[in-house]
Structures are given as C-alpha cells and as structure tokens.
Amino acid sequence: MWDRFLRACCFQSVDRTPVWFMRQAGRYMSEYRAIRARRTLIEICKAPELATQVTLQPVQALGVDAAILFADILLPLEPMRASFEFRADDGPLIHSPIGDRAGVDALRIPDPEADLGYVLETVRLVRRELEGKTPLVGFAGAPFTMASYLIEGGKSTSFLRTKRFMHREPAIWASLLEKLVEVVRRYLRAQIGAGAQAVQIFDSWAGALTVYDYAEFVAPYMKVLFDDLKTTGVPVIHFSADNGHLLELQRDTGGSVIGVGWQTPIDVAATRLGKSVAIQGNLDPVALLAPRPILARRVEQILEAVARPTGYVFNLGHGILPETDPAAVAFVVDRVHSWRTE
Ligand code: CP3
C-alpha cells in the first residue's frame, strides 16, 4: 500500500503500520557519506539532483513508507539575511545573533520561489523519481525553534537568551514570531504547491519551555500557522522532542499528527491526546544501537501500547544518530511491517 503513511495520518484503514525515521538521510549511511565527502551540507541542499539522490537513499535501502525532503530547517535564514555556517563539530553558527528591535526589523521575508527555489526544485524532482510509489514529506523549522537559533547564535542547552528575550521584550518577540510565522507559512505552502504530500513542522526545542511560556509566547503564533496550513488539506505533523508536558497544548495549537518524544510512554500520550489527532513516534534513537532482542522488544512494546488500528505512524522520538547501523534501521522497518494492525 503506497499511501499507508498518508492514510494513517487521516485515520483511514491501513494494511500495515507505516514507518519512517526523522533524519533517515544522513551520516549513518555510507551512500550519504560518499556524497558528503566532497561537498558541504549546504552544497548538497543547493544541488537539487544531489539532494534528490540523498532523499531517495533511505527509501531504496530501507523500504520506509515516506521520503523526507533532504534540506535543513536553517536554509531560510540566508535569504532572511541572517547568514550562518555549519561548523564540523559544533553545529550551526549564526554570524550576527539577534538581540533587539533593529535585528528583527532587518530580517527579510523570503520569496520561496525566488530565494529557496532549489528546495522546491528538489521537491519536484523527488516526486518525479518516486513515481507515486512513496509519499514525500516536506518540512520547516517552527518559529520558536528558528527564533532560538537566531537569538542564541547556535545550539543551546538552557535557551537562556531566548527565554530572556521573550520575557523582557515581549513586543519585539511578538514581531519576531509573527515574521517567522509568515516565513514558514509561505515556505511550506510553496513546498506543498511543488508536490509535498505532507509537511512536518520541527519545533525541536519547544520542550525546553514550561507550559506557561509555551501557552503565552509560542502557541498563539503557531496557531495562526496551523490554521492557515489546514486549508491546504495535507497532513501537518507537529513535532517537538521531549514534549511530554506539552502534549495537550500542542494538540490544541494545531497539526493533524502530533509527534511524541521517547520520554513519554506512547499509550499515555495516546490517551491524553485522544482520537482527534494522529500520533507519531516514539522509539528512543539510542535503542537502534541496542542488541537485536532488546531493539525488537522496544519496537513491539510501542506497537502493542499504541493499540490503534490506524492514526499512528511509527518513528523515533527524535532523529537517527550518526552512530546507527543501517541494518538496525532496516530491522525495525521489517518488525513494524510484520506487525498485524488488526
Ligand atoms: O533525513 C532527514 O530527516 C532530512 C534532512 C534533515 C536535515 N536537517 C539534514 C541535516 C532534516 C529534517 C533536518 C532538520 C533539522 N536541522 C532540525 C530539526 C530536527 C531535529 O533534529 O530536531 C534541526 C534542529 C536542524 C539544525 C541542524 N542541522 C543542526 C543542529 C545540525 C548540526 C548537528 C548535526 O547533526 O550535525 C544540522 C546539520 C544537518 N542537517 C545534518 C544533516 C544530515 C548533519 C550532517 C552533515 O553535516 O552532513
């Protein structure tokens, strides 16, 4: 069944539980490393034929039920005029982090076709190559997670600067988030227009917020984004890592599928979320490094606990780690597909 992923997102009956993996294309695959050896991540993203090839690698090697566009949540920063680079060990570095009103006002709202046309070209090429055999997921970073990079200047553990900014400068924070909502809204609509059959919004770091901060400083902006995307009719996946405390708030903010971090038992999440949204997750990415009997048990425990014939997409609670053996990932695909949904 080519569309079991899309069907599960919409609570339509499925023959098998669909499975795909966040970060399913990347350094853990030798096919990716071979291409990456001679080019930077950004160079691959900007070459639609290469990005297409990398997008298809896990689909061909693993038999997953969805392809995810090969790109990065930070790509829109460049046409927003917030230049950045990826450093080998330290992740992204934003050259001039934002700290005031002038910084927010200087951010430009990109025109997706003119400024990020290479991403849209990749979407078109991937769709052509997949020939309707596997659906394609587009994606973008969520306004809060993108704002955290813009303000922190890179990765963070405490998000001190971001939280201080939202608490001390709520009016400037509002302008920043409103601008980012518009950036993401246009970008995802363009990806859907180019052929993305579902989209995932990565609010990776929103779990660092209390429910009070999330409700006050994130949810109202995100709601505008989700309400707009709802009218496209494609499934919208709302993902954050470590979001156990935010589940009901995130469901009420929007998205037709809610991602669940590995910290929350999936049956607890399913009960709390109810049947108005589908769920996705939540294997611990480190379980992929465990001996096969433990890995098999963890996969089966999740499938057993979900206890829904549809409305569920198997995935990790966060992205695949570079240390992962591709054979372990293929093993999980096989175990999920041999599980009876009836
Ligand atoms: O297979 C896929 O999931 C599609 C490709 C994809 C990438 N980044 C490519 C990438 C996706 C969906 C992303 C999303 C992304 N990027 C997120 C959200 C997901 C998450 O993990 O929470 C975030 C926070 C980023 C920002 C980012 N990109 C960081 C922090 C880093 C450095 C850390 C790291 O893993 O190296 C990146 C680099 C990046 N993006 C790589 C890949 C494959 C690393 C590999 C490389 O350097 O070639």
334 annotated active-site? no
- Beta strand 91-94 with 84-87: parallel, antiparallel or unpaired? antiparallel
Q: Which of 7, 15, 27, 214 is catalytic?
A: 27
Q: Which numbered atom of ligand 1 lies nearest the CA of 41?
A: 48
- pTM here is 0.97
- Is the minimum distance from the CB of 57 to ligand 1 under 6 angstroms? no
Distance CA(301)–CA(49), nearest Å, equals 39
Looking at residue 58, its amino acid is P
Alpha carbon of 71 to ligand 1 centroid (Å): 8
Distance CA(335)–CA(299), nearest Å, equals 7
- Is the minimum distance from the CB of 154 to ligand 1 under 6 angstroms? no
Q: Which residue in this structure is represented by tokens 């990932």? A: 329
The answer to whether 150 and 73 have CB atoms below 8 angstroms apart is no
As a whole number, the mean pLDDT across the chain is 97
Q: Cis peptide before 282, with omega less than 30 degrees from 0? A: yes
Total residue length of the chain:
342
Q: What is the mean pLDDT of residues 88-117?
A: 96
| Residue 264: both structure tokens together | 């929350």
- Is the minimum distance from the CB of 319 to ligand 1 under 6 angstroms? yes
282, 277, 289: which is closest to 266 by C-alpha? 282
| Residue closest by Cα to atom 33 of ligand 1 | 91
Tell me the Ramachandran region of residue 14: left when phi exceeds 0, alpha when psi lies from -120 to 50, beta otherwise: beta
Alpha carbon of 22 to ligand 1 centroid (Å): 9
| Residue 286: both structure tokens together | 């480190």
- Is the minimum distance from the CB of 91 to ligand 1 under 6 angstroms? yes
Q: How sure is the predictor about 160, in pLDDT bands with cuts at 50, 70 and 90?
A: very high
Predicted local confidence at residue 88, as pLDDT: 86
Q: Which numbered atom of ligand 1 lies nearest the CA of 27?
A: 45
Q: How sure is the predictor about 154, in pLDDT bands with cuts at 50, 70 and 90?
A: very high
pLDDT digits 0-9 by tens, 41-100: 999 999 999 999 999 999 999 999 999 999 999 999 999 999 999 998 889 999 999 999
- Is the minimum distance from the CB of 36 to ligand 1 under 6 angstroms? yes
pLDDT surpasses 70 at 239: yes
Query: How many helices, marked H, and strands, marked E, lie in the chain?
Result: 16, 9
pLDDT surpasses 90 at 342: no
* Number of Cβ within a 10 Å radius of residue 288: 24
Predicted local confidence at residue 89, as pLDDT: 84
pLDDT digits 0-9 by tens, 180-197: 999 999 999 999 999 999
* Number of Cβ within a 10 Å radius of residue 249: 18
Q: What is the mean pLDDT of residues 199-203?
A: 98
258, 242, 138: which is closest to 196 by C-alpha? 138
| Residue closest by Cα to atom 25 of ligand 1 | 73
Q: Which of 28, 149, 187, 214 is catalytic?
A: 149
Q: Where are the domains of the chain?
A: 4-337
72 annotated active-site? yes
23 annotated active-site? yes
Q: Which of 16, 72, 118, 161 is catalytic?
A: 72
| Residue closest by Cα to atom 32 of ligand 1 | 91
- Is the minimum distance from the CB of 139 to ligand 1 under 6 angstroms? yes
- Is the minimum distance from the CB of 242 to ligand 1 under 6 angstroms? no
- Is the minimum distance from the CB of 73 to ligand 1 under 6 angstroms? yes
Q: Tell me the CATH class for 4-337.
A: alpha beta
Distance CA(276)–CA(287), nearest Å, equals 29
Predicted local confidence at residue 324, as pLDDT: 98
CA atoms within a 13 Å half-sphere pointing along the CA-CB vector of 135? 24
Alpha carbon of 160 to ligand 1 centroid (Å): 22
